[in-house]
Structure 1
Amino acid sequence: MEGRRFASGLYVGTVMHHRVKPVRHRLSYRVFSLLADLDELPRLDRDLRLFGHNRFGLTAFHDRDFGPLDGAGIGLKQWAEAQLAAAGIGAGGPVRLLCFPRVLGFVFNPLCVWFCHRQDETLAAVIHEVTNTFGQRHAYLIPAARGADGLVRQRCDKRFYVSPFMDMETAYHFRIRPPSGEAGEPLAVAIRQTDAAGPVLHASLALRRVELSDGAILRAWARHPLMTAKVVAGIHWEALHLWRKGLAVRPRPPAPAHPVTVVDGPTRF
């Protein structure tokens, strides 16, 4: 990792959604994401002119965009460590959050991925934090174990309403290539959503690391100046297409009583 200035980094790439039933629909668009080492945020705020922590910037990271909606009164890393401790998972190392940053003050994150490490920097758990367009947020905390191929595979049942055109009785299957901080490294999150009869949706985030600097931020913004609008518009455009294709709107149940669903045991295969 010679020459690496920050553990945090920018990651540029593509989001893809492919619904396979009961109708077929696909979308894909270019994005850039921030991998924020939570311990490093004050330094990023100080050293980068085009990035702000809890303040306005060309790009920014605001603590209130993540974690508990009620504002738990503790820092994000402390909140994550409290969730891990409650689940009986030892960590104590870096917590790095993959998310869309605020761009000119605006952001919407359908999915954020928290990589929670032990003190030796091995991966202990992943928190998949989902936000829907109804102002609700929920997280799935799953222990993590890398397979022989370096990938993390996880599974959980759906507990939180996201799309009005998707049944609740489904499951998520995650396949993740976690970040290590190497220059130019790939980072990928693939999600296969299934019902009792098989796959319903395939989604992926395929990214490559760019070292974090003001120049990198400016170039990413110049390529994607309206990224937040593109993300939100893409969600609603997909919903419109699904509605026109005849899919019925599913009723929205109450959000889970607890903001974090803990899944027992990592998946290895």
Structure 2
Amino acid sequence: MPRDSSLPAMAQPQLCLGQVRHTRLRPRRHFFSYGIYYLRLPLRSMGGQDFSARLISRNGANVLSFRDSDHGDGVTPLLDWIDGLLHEQGVSDADGEIWLQTMPRVFGYVFNPVSFWFCHRADGALRAVLCDVRNTFGERHLYLLDHGAAIAYGSELRANKIFHVSPFCKVEGGYRFRFLRSKDDAGQGERHLACVDYDDTSGPLLQTSLSGIAVPLRDRALGRALLRYPLMTFGVMARIHWQALRLWLRRVPFFSKPHPPQEKLSR
């Protein structure tokens, strides 16, 4: 796969303004969607540099912030951590750009249900995707999506579910992932879409997606995002509990968290 000409050799941090959608198919159909914004950070191009925008800081206090310690193992430099993990799992050719897609801290607070590490080869082809999944119990699990070769955007990737996230889903079945990338029709930036569907042993149960249009990480874009969603990350946690209450009131079956926690990485 040739290098995508839309990605410059020295990529720049991006802000994505978009939407989360979630549909439960049974035993009660349940749908919600809400606006969101998130970061896409080119870790190799950035190195240890801070952001040039004034409204966001790296490893410092600000209205918006990104802390390296929120990701990886919390100690090792991010590039060293992801490169080491990939090599341990036999992925030795993800030597191109690595984009970390995640939400920033807002006034110091963040809860990221899932962050994606898009790991590319030197020729620009997508080689592997690491999905860092968190639950509200303070636990996390890493799903490494890798089938030994370049991954075509739009293709379906699968992983067995082995980590408890929602008390309204059993730890069984598996996930189906699709990632898409294209030019925005309005020419304003690059459009990204991540679809994660969940099938239990009875078939399709959940359909979720995260979409957004990526623009350069600048103060004007950050200001618009903050005005539109001033307490976004606080809202993420509030909405998780609100939707759980709605499911409980509708008598959707409840499943307790299994013990002990499962392994930390699977593929």
SS at structure 2 position matched to 1:56? coil
Q: How much does 1:92 deviate?
A: 1.8
Higher relative CO (CA 8 A, sep ≥ 6), structure 1 or 2?
Answer: 1
2:15 aligns with 10
Give me the whole-angstrom Cα distance separating, in 1, the residues matched to 2:104 and 2:208: 20
Q: How much does 1:211 deviate?
A: 1.7
User: Does 2:107 align with 1:101?
Assistant: no
SS at structure 1 position matched to 2:49? helix
* One of 229, 236, 240 as aligned partner of 2:234: 229
Give me the whole-angstrom Cα distance separating, in 2, the residues matched to 1:117 and 1:22: 39
User: Does 2:89 align with 1:84?
Assistant: no
1:246-261 equivalences under 5 Å are 246-253=251-258, 254-257=260-263, 259-261=264-266
Give me the whole-angstrom Cα distance separating, in 2, the residues matched to 1:230 and 1:108: 10
SS at structure 2 position matched to 1:43? coil
Specify whether residues 15 and 4 from structure 1 end up closer, same or farther in structure 2 by C-alpha distance, changes over 3 A only.
farther
SS at structure 2 position matched to 1:222? helix
Report the number of matched residues. Answer: 255
Q: How much does 1:240 deviate?
A: 0.2
SS at structure 2 position matched to 1:93? coil
User: Does 2:198 align with 1:196?
Assistant: no
1:43 aligns with 49
Specify whether residues 24 and 41 from structure 1 end up closer, same or farther in structure 2 by C-alpha distance, changes over 3 A only.
farther
* One of 240, 245, 248 as aligned partner of 1:240: 245
Contact map agreement 1:146 1:153 (CA 8 A) in 2:
no
Q: How much does 1:170 deviate?
A: 2.1
1:14-25 equivalences under 5 Å are 14-25=19-30
1:88 partner amino acid? G
Task: Return 191-200 or 171-180, whichever deviates more.
Answer: 171-180
Identity %: 37
TM-score by length of 2: 0.88
TM-score by length of 1: 0.88
1:267 aligns with none
SS at structure 1 position matched to 2:116? strand
Give me the whole-angstrom Cα distance separating, in 2, the residues matched to 1:122 and 1:4: 13
1:213 partner amino acid? R
Contact map agreement 1:183 1:211 (CA 8 A) in 2:
no
SS at structure 2 position matched to 1:189? strand
* One of 117, 122, 125 as aligned partner of 2:120: 117
Structure 2: gaps (5+ residues) = 1-5
Give me the whole-angstrom Cα distance separating, in 2, the residues matched to 1:58 and 1:152: 37
Please give the root-mean-square deviation of Cα atoms over the aligned residues, in Å: 2.2
